[in-house]
Chain A
């Protein structure tokens, strides 16, 4: 993104990176078989989900430049959509899953049209309000959402293949494989998007929206597009969460999830795919190392977020980059 060089002597580094990627992925795929612990697999799944939430939110926060506090609403909307469709309406899982993402995306357009013309501060507050409204609806529209009790007995991910019957992700390991694949797809997708024209336009809007518009970039189009993609990914993630845990409840819209999302983005490093994945892993793993009461854990989250913002705004990615600059053959050695 920042004036990187092209081709030439860097191709060795790139092949090396692919090799590392393949090796690492294989390791992660088989990890549940090596470490026969449902608990560890659970953590892996959590890390993946946090990363997905962070990546989808970062499209808007880090790449478009708009601070949003309501992204978690799409996570919950996706979850509830899947839950309602599979339990009350008996819709087959794949369609429900798709619907979850699409509905989140559609609602995001509504939110975007209403709020993108606001100032940055009002946008942040407006999106927070959106999440609060979603929570209110989940809690009070009992006919649809069963209120504070939530919905239970949501079926696991299942796919009907004609001729072969139904494949279901029953075990934790199977669920891990499912979300791992989804994460890889999303990462690939996002990276492609960011390096394409759409990504360029997003960054231009982030850097200087007025200048971008005088060059022909229609800001609203790219803002809505970014929001749509981000909301859709969050919606899919929510749907996955619903079927993995088999329950949904209004607390999916709560400030806790928003905090986690913000920590993943800012502790990981906004604007960086790798950083956010690292952030997701940290946020999933670290609390397990320090068992504590929920309220104290939230204090810790808040403190980490605050300290990172004040002292290390580049997040983990910043730390990684500083470290990597001291390696030979590093890409960042370029002027």
Chain B
């Protein structure tokens, strides 16, 4: 039983990572109809950023590090949106798809060129601390990942539902033309959406970076899993993405624990294929708007 609970906990923390990344992805799609193929690379960049910050400013407390990384990535997301996405907003869906794919290639290979393929390892005060409850070992870093992730989703929901910019984002996701007619500045909102999406990647990069090896290609697999989650949750469905992310995380962890770790990736694929085949609108149905 304790193995089961252990894997569930591990799965939840993996799911938290998927959720943080996928929420940004699905938000960007929901509001702008852009599939950001470079989103996994945003996470990769965030991890490297967190790593270098931890090395350059060793005395900075970890929570501040997380904040700095998130802000840095938020700025990056805004810049990217300003330079690339805003030019493409009025054009066909093909264009933004290709542009973000090209961006992902540029980012990955630039990272390989600049930083090399040797993985970096980042430490935090929490990564080696564990505590046990009922035979289940809780790694403190993972607990923090889960906790911060849940808090962010809660804050994000508040932001989307209650604040003016959040409502503007919802309006655009439901009807872009009508939104611009009533005075919502689409380009500004595009920037904001990317800032939020990239910021979430920044958050997850700083939180999860220490738990995994940090290397340039780490975004590739994560991208595909994020896509799987977004499709399962329904394109543009933020809540759906969160649920699906945790489902996937737990499924992977249980498979890894009970079957084998080799084919864990195949599980995500398999799930993605099954959903595409039988429920192309996702597990939670089609939703209008975010």
Contacts and interface: CB of A to CB of B under 8 A. Distances in A.
Q: Give yes or no for direct A-B contact (beta carbon below 8 Å).
A: yes
Interface of A: 67, 69, 114-115, 117-122, 124-126, 128-129, 132-133, 136, 255, 259, 262, 266, 293, 295-296, 298-299, 301-303, 305-306, 309-310, 313
B113 A125 contact: no
Nearest to A130: B273
B105 A67 contact: no
B105 A125 contact: no
Question: How large, as a class, is the contact surface on chain B?
Answer: 35 or more
Contact of A129 (B84, B108, B220, B269): B269
A122 B113 contact: no
Contact of A69 (B101, B113, B273): B101
B106 A302 contact: yes
A118 B87 CA distance: 27
A136 B273 CA distance: 14
A310 B99 contact: yes
A132 B224 contact: yes
Provide the main secondary structure of the chain A interface: helix
Interface of B: 29, 35, 84, 87-88, 91, 93-95, 97-99, 101-106, 108-110, 112-113, 220, 224, 227, 231, 235, 265-266, 269, 272-273, 276-277, 280
A298 B273 CA distance: 29
B84 A306 contact: yes
A303 B108 CA distance: 12
A293 B106 CA distance: 14
B276 A118 contact: yes
B103 A302 contact: yes
Contact of B280 (A119, A128, A296): A119
Contact of B276 (A122, A295, A296, A305): A122
Which 3 pairs from chain A and chain B are nearest by CB? A302-B105, A302-B106, A306-B102
B125 to A, nearest CB: 34
Contacts of A124: 35, 97
Contact of B98 (A119, A298, A301, A309): A309
Contacts of B106: 298-299, 302-303, 306
A259 B84 contact: no
Given A69-B101, A309-B102, A122 B109 contact: no
B272 A120 contact: no
Contacts of A115: 276
